[in-house]
Structure 1
Amino acid sequence: MEKVLLLHSSSDGQTIKIMRHIEASLGEGYQCELVDLNQLPDVEFSRYDRALIGASIRYGHLNKALYQFIAKHQSALAQHKVGFFCVNLTARKEGKNTPETSVYIKKFLQKSAWRPELMGVFAGALRYPRYKWFDRVMIQFIMRLTGGETDTSKEVEYTDWQKVAAFAGQFKAL
């Protein structure tokens, strides 16, 4: 049985939901451990056969804890089978939903010396009723600018679950 470390940096839970879908897609033969990267865990990568890091974008940025974690564990990341994916609302649009076309992956690669073996980009979810007032107003403003949903009574999940399952298959093949 392969041991898999699933590290997440999630703002509103969609990254965790995507990780759980990947875990289910891996199927039998994989024992997964889900860990919150924002807690800056001390990780012994040698205990795992592979690892996956998933991080969400909030107001155009990945969490600083992600970069701190990568800096701390860069040599271990380079020596193990590790994949990375980013979750954001921009990826709901065609042409902005691949590692090659995602502005957030480009920013990530500029800020980080780590080059994951496998990278993915997934559209997140819009959960207006769950947001605090400030976040709801700011996200609505951003969505208005980008031609997205602005009805604050709605929750919209943009994640393409078939794409997530295909990514899980690529992760298995590392």
Structure 2
Amino acid sequence: MKALLLYSSREGQTKKILEFIDKELSDYQCDLVDLHQITAVDWDSYDKVLIGASIRYGHLNKLLYKFISANLSQLQSNKVAFFCVNLTARKEDQGKDTPEGSAYIKTFLKKSPWQPPLIGVFAGALYYPRYKWFDRVMIRFIMSMTGGETDTTKEVEYTNWEKVSLFAKKFAQM
């Protein structure tokens, strides 16, 4: 069996999550592809497709929505799942790591003509030392407002890998 793992990632955490899922899908041969680099998908070559996308400054990348518009009928007629990576999902005790509790997923479902049958929400990572000056300042400001890490010398990974593993199992069973 074959699976296509597409990612829209800015700092690499979404790709890292898909690499983890690739290892979890031991019964599948997986192709990991950057959504921003793909020109076309040979849908007949894959049993399943998983799309992961990250939030930056409250928004998913516009290229994700263009991909959805260009491939809507294939997304609706194949086994395709979606997950979103964001720093708000670190607040698991508030339910921000669920499709029902994620404002980003609610917005996605309103904006997208595609309604994925399986949706995941995972906390991302802070990579302060890797950010450009403007991003470092802005993300620190946002984190200070939301009670997050503000030490710009740190890298903090919030991803709950057990939750990612459970999602990979659900995806395999689709």
Q: Same fold per TM (> 0.5)? A: yes
User: Which residue does the alignment assign to 2:99?
Assistant: 99
Letter of the aligned partner of 1:75 in structure 2?
S
- For residue 68 of structure 1, the aligned residue among 66, 69, 92 is 66
Unaligned runs of 5+ in 2: none
1:147 aligns with 2:166: no
Distance 2:68 2:15 in 1: 19
Q: Give the TM-score of the pair, scaled to structure 1.
A: 0.97
Cα displacement (A) at 1:40: 4.3
1:114 aligns with 2:114: yes
Distance 1:33 1:40 in 2: 12
* Mapped contact 1:40–1:65 kept (Cα < 8 A): no
Cα displacement (A) at 1:161: 0.2
User: Which residue does the alignment assign to 1:33?
Assistant: 31
User: Which residue does the alignment assign to 1:83?
Assistant: 81
SS in 1 for 2:171: helix
The count of corresponding residues between Structure 1 and Structure 2 is 172
Cα displacement (A) at 1:44: 1.6
Q: Give the TM-score of the pair, scaled to structure 2.
A: 0.97
Cα displacement (A) at 1:21: 0.5
Root-mean-square deviation (Å): 0.7
Letter of the aligned partner of 1:123 in structure 2?
A
Unaligned runs of 5+ in 1: none
Distance 1:121 1:82 in 2: 15
Letter of the aligned partner of 1:165 in structure 2?
S
User: Which residue does the alignment assign to 2:13?
Assistant: 14
Distance 1:109 1:40 in 2: 23
Cα displacement (A) at 1:47: 1.0
Distance 1:108 1:41 in 2: 23
What whole-Å deviation, never above 9, does each CA across 1:91-139 have from its counterpart, x for those lacking one? 0002211011100000100100101111000000000000000000000
User: Which residue does the alignment assign to 2:169?
Assistant: 169
Distance 1:147 1:98 in 2: 19
Letter of the aligned partner of 1:105 in structure 2?
I
